[in-house]
Structure 1
């Protein structure tokens, strides 16, 4: 080893994929000592040596700790001026942006099919849609169209990709719960114009109030997404304490976007009484609560006393 270089030995993880077994490992990589190489540099060097193993598929860890190292982590060297890393294969990857686009496309395709084209086949009769059904149909389409546009134009992702298999697991939630089941239950004859005529579900004041609360929730959710986008400059993973609407008074929340999301779907559930809407609200709400609590704990660890103590994770003054 030259005085002007340092060496990193890369060995294979115990659990080997077919691709890892096909590579000539262990592999020795040579770097200049200054600046010290990062995990990203190691991944790039491995990809250059073996193009079949792209950087996004690689999991780099230490021999004594299986947890993946962050791309910006600097490599620590022993007294001999060398280091050893363990290489794992995460398998085929797909971009987060693509996953979200595919997920949200499900309800956008399924709801129009059930609403316009399949009532006779599904229910055995034509459905004269009520003002309630027309409203929830519009709310569903507007909500998922908003999500698609946010995915394309607003969201920035700290991780570029995820395992390819996850697209099937994640899509099932949207295609089944908020797609087929929700559409079937919302547009059934039991909520049609003749069925709700003269009831509170046919009351215009109720519908106007529901639209007002739902619109408030959607616009508030968008506002918090724009705030989070502004915190992270393009091409970085910068983290800072979010401030402003939703994060500060009167809500004071770590994840106001989740709160407003739950509020919007709560409106759909309350106005329709749909069991499918309730199931989707419960399942997605539980997941968002877990995400919010995890983010809340992470922010408190990361920012310490700088993080506002009055904030709750997801529900104002409650949780």
Structure 2
């Protein structure tokens, strides 16, 4: 397999072909998937090699591991060919996450700051302030993790995704939750007067947020900077579910729901939990496929006894 020196290139989308795609490229010794993308981009006239997508000819699935040596991939070596597609304008994963999480921080801050100009009584109840602090602190934590903790296996994603992803956070956890908690005439947080409920919500929130942060810090140690390798995670919460970071994330939001008493917060995390469950199922399948008997299979991927 290591003798692969020339790779045939075929457009994956004949209706939207890469016009200057070379029919073949010569492979340097130990060329990786990312090296191949750079070679193709250079010859095809692309300034960003991340726009180049490589796919297997047999399954048409993407070559995900950008650091894998192309000649050592059995399917590619046997075919001597890959399919190539222009993935469109790309944007860094880190940038997308920063923009996503910035929305709720700005919107909740603006909503609270605007109360004196929009309401006759601009004062907020202690529970409204507690809800505000919880939500802003949650997304501030997310921003810090994005900038300093998370390591991404892929460099970029299609730029159009930033609009879809940001809408969920800006519109629901941002605008909808801010209106419902601080402005809605039906806001339970505005009328709340039960410190015990606030305390229970705060305890759940703090435990969930701290635990989520600990799992994220641990996961960041399992991958080198810019690396794509995967290791079997162990320890805090991993004996219970595949993705304890999602479990603790949900728990933190249950704390916010408890404190805010707000339906919009429940709606936001319900939608988010559905997506996290899909991701967690995918991770469980990936662990089983990659590690086989070395991996202790999990019955529940996100919430013990439920999901």
TM-score (norm 2): 0.88
**Largest Rg, 1 or 2:** 1
2:60 is equivalent to residue 66 of structure 1: yes
Q: Which of the numbers 15, 22, 25 marks the counterpart of 1:29?
A: 25
Correspondence for 2:229: 238
Instruction: State the 1:262 CA deviation.
Output: 0.8
**Equivalence map 1:79-94=2 (5 Å):** 83-94=80-91
Question: Secondary structure of 2:8's partner?
Answer: strand
1:8 and 1:206 mapped to 2: Cα distance? 64
| Residues 65 and 291 (structure 1), Cα distance of their counterparts in 2 relative to 1, 3 Å cut | closer
2:140 is equivalent to residue 150 of structure 1: no
| 8 Å Cα contact 2:284/2:298 also seen in 1 | no
Correspondence for 2:92: 95
Coordinate RMSD, CA, aligned: 2.4
2:205 is equivalent to residue 205 of structure 1: no
Question: Secondary structure of 2:37's partner?
Answer: helix
Question: Secondary structure of 2:218's partner?
Answer: helix
Question: Where does the alignment leave 5 or more consecutive residues of structure 2 unmatched?
Answer: none
Q: Which of the numbers 135, 140, 158 marks the counterpart of 1:163?
A: 158
Q: Which of the numbers 93, 106, 109 marks the counterpart of 1:109?
A: 106
For residues 19-77 of structure 1, the C-alpha deviation after alignment (integer angstroms, 9 at most, x for no partner) is x23x2x34332235x54x44333212123324425321111124443212233152444
Correspondence for 2:212: 221
2:5 is equivalent to residue 6 of structure 1: yes
Question: Where does the alignment leave 5 or more consecutive residues of structure 1 unmatched?
Answer: none
1:295 and 1:317 mapped to 2: Cα distance? 18
For residues 252-285 of structure 1, the C-alpha deviation after alignment (integer angstroms, 9 at most, x for no partner) is 2211111111111112223322121121121111
2:160 and 2:297 mapped to 1: Cα distance? 39
| 8 Å Cα contact 1:120/1:126 also seen in 2 | no
2:39 is equivalent to residue 42 of structure 1: no
**Equivalence map 1:282-297=2 (5 Å):** 282-297=270-285
2:234 and 2:4 mapped to 1: Cα distance? 45
2:4 and 2:283 mapped to 1: Cα distance? 41
Instruction: State the 1:7 CA deviation.
Output: 2.3
2:250 is equivalent to residue 262 of structure 1: yes
Question: Secondary structure of 1:231's partner?
Answer: coil
TM-score (norm 1): 0.85
**Equivalence map 1:116-195=2 (5 Å):** 116-118=113-115, 120-121=117-118, 124-188=119-183, 189-191=185-187
